[in-house]
C-alpha cells in the first residue's frame, strides 16, 4: 500500500493505529510504502506527524510490555525468554527494559557407573 505523505490528520491516525499494534517506525514506513528516511524527513517538517510518531513509539512499547501479561492471563503457552529477546532487540538491552535477567542453570546428572570420557570443565 503506497500512501503519498499528505493529509496530515489521516496520516497521523494511520501512524498511531500502527503504533497501537506494536509496529516500529520502520514497519510503519513500510506499511505506508515509503522509506524510513522519507517518513522521518516529513516528520521534521510536520510537527503533528512528529508527535504522532513519538506517540506511536510509546504505544508500540506499551503493546510489547503488555504482551506477557496478556499471555499469562490467557492460559496459553508462550516463551517469555523469546519475548525478552525481542524486546531487547527492539528497544535496547533487557536491563534497560527492567526485564528479569536470564536464569543461570546448572544440571546435576547422576553418575551412571561408567568411567568419564572427558574431564569435567573447571568450576563444575
What is the residue extent of each domain of the chain? 8-91
pLDDT tens across 40-50, in order? Answer: 999 999 888 99
pLDDT tens across 15-62, in order? Answer: 999 999 999 999 999 999 999 999 999 999 988 899 999 999 999 999
DSSP string, 36-60: HHHHHHHHHH-HHHHHHHHHHHHHH
CA 97 to each of CA 27, 89, 108: distance values in angstroms, whole numbers, following the listed order: 21, 11, 32
Q: How many angstroms separate the CA atoms of 56 and 13, rounded?
A: 10
Percent of the chain with pLDDT over 70: 82
DSSP string, 59-76: HHHHHHHHHHHHHHHHT-
Q: How many angstroms separate the CA atoms of 121 and 88, rounded?
A: 31
Amino acid at each position: 500500500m503506497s500512501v503519498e505523505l499528505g493529509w496530515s490528520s489521516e496520516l497521523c491516525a494511520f501512524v498511531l493505529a500502527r503504533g497501537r499494534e506494536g509496529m516500529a517506525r520502520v514497519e510503519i514506513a513500510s506499511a505506508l510504502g515509503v522509506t524510513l528516511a522519507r517518513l522521518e524527513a516529513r516528520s521534521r517538517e510536520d510537527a503533528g506527524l512528529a508527535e504522532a510518531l513519538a506517540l506511536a513509539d510509546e504505544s508500540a512499547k506499551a503493546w510489547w510490555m503488555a504482551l506477557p501479561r496478556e499471555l499469562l492471563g490467557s492460559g496459553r503457552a508462550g516463551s517469555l525468554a523469546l519475548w525478552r529477546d525481542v524486546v531487547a532487540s527492539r528497544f535496547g538491552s533487557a536491563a534497560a527494559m527492567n526485564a528479569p535477567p536470564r536464569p543461570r542453570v546448572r544440571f546435576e546428572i547422576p553418575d551412571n557407573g561408567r568411567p568419564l570420557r572427558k574431564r569435567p570443565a573447571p568450576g563444575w
